[in-house]
Structure 1
Amino acid sequence: MRRWRRPLAAVALVCALAVAPAAVAAPPAPHVSGNALVDARTGTPFVPRGVNWPSFEYACLYGYGYSNARSRTSVGPDDADAANIARWQVNTVRIPLNQDCWLGDDGLPRSDSSTHRTARGYRRAVRAWVERLHHHGLAVILDLHWSGPDGVPAEGQRAMADERSVAFWASVASRFRTDPAVMFDVFNEPYSRWNGDAPAFDLTWGCWSGGGCRAPTANDTSPLNRRTYTVAGMQALVDAIRGAGARQPILLAGRNYANDLTGWLANRPADDQLVASLHSYPGQGCDAPACWDAEVAPVAAQVPVVATEIGDDGCRAGHVARFIDWADRHGVGYLAWEWVLPDGRYSCHGGTAYSLIADTRGTPRPPVGTTVALDLGRLAFSAPTAWLAAR
């Protein structure tokens, strides 16, 4: 575990004031080669490291926009925020999306009294944000975060993809198939569901891969009902992307909220551009170095592994520090959750407790934001907090 001592961190912060931001380069073009990602432009290794930029998954549901917008208390998908993210020395940004808002299903995206919103407008807003991030040299991972089977609004996380998820990925891949700086994270967090102490839905590795089982329509924060839908497996989602002509890397999250990769290798779809996606938060089943050595390292020995979400609540950073230390030593990428400001209801748990930034300028919020920013800067061989130079 890396322990950042306050005096050393303070020196790094002071030195950063004299460092100008590096010239903006074209975004990388990730490509799977063996158990690593490489930049297809240069053939050099590419390890995705960066942040998650949420709100495209929920703003369009709640009816206040396609995503968050810049204000005194919020960041928005504009050039200023893309520049602030880039100053952290990240190379990748993950954008969670809403299935219904993209497809125009189930009454989404929602309009309000002043603005009529459409699926076409949502897709344009997503593309515009992707292009702004590219302009600042950043690769992008598009993530299917909130979904819902036909007739059920995408108002949260489902256990696994559905038939409309196949249509979603065919559409997304068609629009980004010529963009080599985009990767596809096909389903955020596959999970099994319990009803008290009894299993209500067991997502087996076979269904994870091939689909066909029946999952609850209720999202993971709603009470179970008797309604179910037919799961679309990872192979169907991969086929939809490839059928649209997109050849970029595809990320597949493991079971148990993307924390279990034990059956990933044996059940992965047939494709040579697959990346294993892991999520790591304190309290999950595999949340310590011994487990990462036993369960994640063997996967990373055969295919690239990216922790597309890592986090700690806002009052501690021990788990994040341990994970990034392990990941850096094993060539595993990571994307911290989440690039939002803490709101007025901020506490150590719930709400925006995982916020990485303290203000709209992208100032790292201690302790998690500063832990991540220091590591990103160290890995980039530049001052850990070059974001300060532009303030």
Structure 2
Amino acid sequence: MRHPPRSVLAAVAGAVALIGSVTVPVVTASGAAPACSVEYSVTSQWDSGFQGAVKITNNTAAMSSWSLAFDFAGGQKLTQGWNAKWSQSGTTVTAASESYNGSLATGASVSAGFIASWSGSNAVPTSFKLNGTSCNTAVEPSPTPGPTDPAEDGPPVLRVSGNKLVDAGGATRRLLGVNRSGGEFMCVQGRGIFDGPVDDASVKAIADWKANTVRIPLNEECWLGLSTIDPAYAGANYINAVKDLVAKVKAHGMTPVVELHWTYGQYTGNSAGCSDVHASCQKPMPDMQYTPSFWASVANTFKNDRTVVFDLFNEPYPDRATSTTTQAWQCWRDGGSCPGIGYEVAGMQDLVDSVRGTGATNLILAGGIAYSNDLSQWLTYRPADPAGNLAAAWHVYNFNTCANESCWNSTLAPVAAQVPLVAGEIGENTCAHGFIDQVMKWFDDRGLSYLGWTWNTWDCSSGPSLISSYDGTPTAFGTGLRDRLRALNG
């Protein structure tokens, strides 16, 4: 259990003018119970600061993680907190569950406290949301989004049926398209949100290749609006930019896949991409400190639009840190204290639970170990999904270990026989398309899905890029994917 530092308590004791607890009452419609209730208390206050607390009660289905959001109405600034991961973006304050208090059964309560500064007014917040659901007021039942909600000419609502992805009518669907990189790195580098244009014309150019899917890599610190990120590129600004791109992708009839790429947590071991604790490179595994909150927020944002697909984590590589493959797969699924990784890991089960805890039933993708190139024990360690809507993700480049048909036949085919298989990234560093031609044929022969890396105008040898211009002009590498997509969907 966390408590305020002694230095803070001492300062409060010396300067505080103790006031009575100010509590926000629970207001409900006659005979109706709120989905959740929040009691907000100002327990002590002094000239420039105050100590507050929240008590959260969950009146709906049990949840494995929670995130409370409310707005300071008087210019207050959060300085620290305990019993939750506290953060502030603009006026919005978020308290996300810790690993030890995330489980909240029906009727159960949890409390957390904080210190904040104030001047002029210390107005009490008037509204609270728990995992995106309004608290303290009765919630009128709303219709569950149905599989026919999206416009008929939009992308389908996808669900898992055996080893296939199917639409509302039961027809088999494949995810065939591209990655649109930028959202994972531009914001954390202070250079913007996306790399290159994401206007309607640039998205239409993707559709003109006859792609039906666009994968959008994201950064958890930018989405959550943590203080290390330029506010212009973080929090609500970042989220709105992602939502806008998702809407443009859908407007052109394509499926949006939102994917977590860069995360928090210091790792300096084998194959480390950076020594920075912040989300400035690919880490071996997601972190428990922020990633469950990220996925709870993303799921709440898109849970009423089941055309959006969730890809949990780009390229796990716990196998580079652990001594054995078994340890790597256990870390992958269960998280916790993983050998060789210095931060608490969020396993794939934690992330599935975070998504499903919001009520979201969207299709989820989970990539394996070895940078998502190894699925050899994916079936053994796959996380439990109460919605039954989980598919396997796989990445391959010409320089990976599993980059030949023998490996695909021995490790991919058994997975694809039981669950849908999506190659979330395919590519090569040769500036040609001979390798991905082999990959695409193998996947086409089996009716599987694949997405090319990447729809960006980079040097194709340093980072495989499909285009030389955002009008859709292909590189020599991109020509292979474009021609294949047009042949399949033209």
Find the residue that maps to 2:172 and give its secondary structure.
coil
Structure 2 Cα separation of the partners of residues 165 and 245 of structure 1 = 18
The answer for the alignment partner of 2:467 in structure 1 is: 357
Q: 1:215 to 1:119 in 2, by over 3 A?
A: farther
Higher mean C-alpha displacement, 298-307 vs 315-324: 315-324
Corresponding position: 1:153 with 2:278: yes
Contact 1:194 1:200 in 2 (8 A): no
Contact 1:251 1:276 in 2 (8 A): yes
Structure 1 Cα separation of the partners of residues 368 and 259 of structure 2 = 14
Deviation at 1:216, TM superposition (A): 5.8
Deviations 1:218-241 (A, max 9, x none): xxxxxxxxxx10111111100000
Find the residue that maps to 2:187 and give its secondary structure.
helix
Deviations 1:354-385 (A, max 9, x none): 1101212111211x2111011111111x2xxx
Contact 1:305 1:333 in 2 (8 A): yes
Structure 1 Cα separation of the partners of residues 449 and 323 of structure 2 = 33
Find the residue that maps to 2:343 and give its secondary structure.
strand
Contact 2:318 2:332 in 1 (8 A): no
Unaligned runs of 5+ in 2: 1-151, 267-275
The answer for the alignment partner of 1:85 in structure 2 is: 206
Q: TM-score, with normalisation over the residues of structure 1? A: 0.80
Structure 2 Cα separation of the partners of residues 121 and 134 of structure 1 = 20
Structure 2 Cα separation of the partners of residues 161 and 93 of structure 1 = 22
Aligned equivalent of 1:33, options 152, 158, 161: 161
Deviations 1:113-143 (A, max 9, x none): xxx3431100000000000110000101111
Find the residue that maps to 1:230 and give its secondary structure.
coil
Q: 1:65 to 1:283 in 2, by over 3 A?
A: same
The answer for the alignment partner of 2:296 in structure 1 is: 170
Structure 2 Cα separation of the partners of residues 297 and 377 of structure 1 = 26
The answer for the alignment partner of 1:220 in structure 2 is: none
The answer for the alignment partner of 2:336 in structure 1 is: 212
Corresponding position: 1:99 with 2:224: no
Q: Which amino acid aligns with 2:214?
A: V
Identity value in percent: 42
Find the residue that maps to 2:173 and give its secondary structure.
coil
Structure 2 Cα separation of the partners of residues 58 and 282 of structure 1 = 24
Structure 2 Cα separation of the partners of residues 275 and 193 of structure 1 = 21
Deviation at 1:26, TM superposition (A): 1.1
Corresponding position: 1:251 with 2:375: no
Q: 1:168 to 1:362 in 2, by over 3 A?
A: same
Find the residue that maps to 1:60 and give its secondary structure.
coil
Corresponding position: 1:45 with 2:166: no
Structure 1 Cα separation of the partners of residues 226 and 256 of structure 2 = 25
The answer for the alignment partner of 2:356 in structure 1 is: 242
Q: 1:262 to 1:148 in 2, by over 3 A?
A: same
Contact 1:105 1:153 in 2 (8 A): no
Residues 303-342 of structure 1 aligned to structure 2 (within 5 Å): 303-342=419-458
Q: TM-score, with normalisation over the residues of structure 2? A: 0.64
Contact 1:192 1:202 in 2 (8 A): no
The answer for the alignment partner of 1:142 in structure 2 is: 258
Structure 2 Cα separation of the partners of residues 379 and 177 of structure 1 = 30
Residues 43-82 of structure 1 aligned to structure 2 (within 5 Å): 43-68=170-195, 75-82=196-203
Q: Which amino acid aligns with 1:162?
A: D
Bigger fraction of residues in helix: 1
Structure 1 Cα separation of the partners of residues 358 and 384 of structure 2 = 16
Q: Which amino acid aligns with 1:349?
A: S
Q: 1:260 to 1:194 in 2, by over 3 A?
A: closer
Contact 2:318 2:331 in 1 (8 A): no
Find the residue that maps to 1:377 and give its secondary structure.
helix
Aligned equivalent of 1:265, options 370, 379, 386: 379
Q: 1:297 to 1:121 in 2, by over 3 A?
A: same
Q: Supply the RMSD in Å over aligned alpha carbons.
A: 2.1
Find the residue that maps to 1:133 and give its secondary structure.
helix
Structure 1 Cα separation of the partners of residues 396 and 417 of structure 2 = 19
Q: Which amino acid aligns with 1:161?
A: P
Structure 1 Cα separation of the partners of residues 211 and 414 of structure 2 = 26
Unaligned runs of 5+ in 1: 1-23, 69-74, 218-227, 383-391
Aligned equivalent of 2:481, options 372, 381, 386: 372
Contact 2:391 2:422 in 1 (8 A): yes
Q: 1:170 to 1:294 in 2, by over 3 A?
A: same
Structure 1 Cα separation of the partners of residues 378 and 372 of structure 2 = 11
Deviations 1:55-86 (A, max 9, x none): 00111011121112xxxxxx411100111000
The answer for the alignment partner of 1:130 in structure 2 is: 246
Contact 2:319 2:370 in 1 (8 A): no
Find the residue that maps to 1:141 and give its secondary structure.
strand
How many pairs align?
A: 327
Q: Which amino acid aligns with 1:135?
A: A
Find the residue that maps to 2:425 and give its secondary structure.
strand
Q: Which amino acid aligns with 2:252?
A: H
- Higher RCO (C-alpha under 8 Å, 6+ residues apart): 1
Find the residue that maps to 1:204 and give its secondary structure.
helix
The answer for the alignment partner of 1:302 in structure 2 is: 418
Q: Which amino acid aligns with 1:28?
A: P
The answer for the alignment partner of 2:345 in structure 1 is: 231
Q: 1:81 to 1:216 in 2, by over 3 A?
A: farther
Bigger fraction of residues in strand: 2
Q: Which amino acid aligns with 2:472?
A: G
Structure 2 Cα separation of the partners of residues 161 and 244 of structure 1 = 19
Structure 1 Cα separation of the partners of residues 287 and 227 of structure 2 = 14
Structure 2 Cα separation of the partners of residues 106 and 314 of structure 1 = 40
Contact 1:216 1:229 in 2 (8 A): no
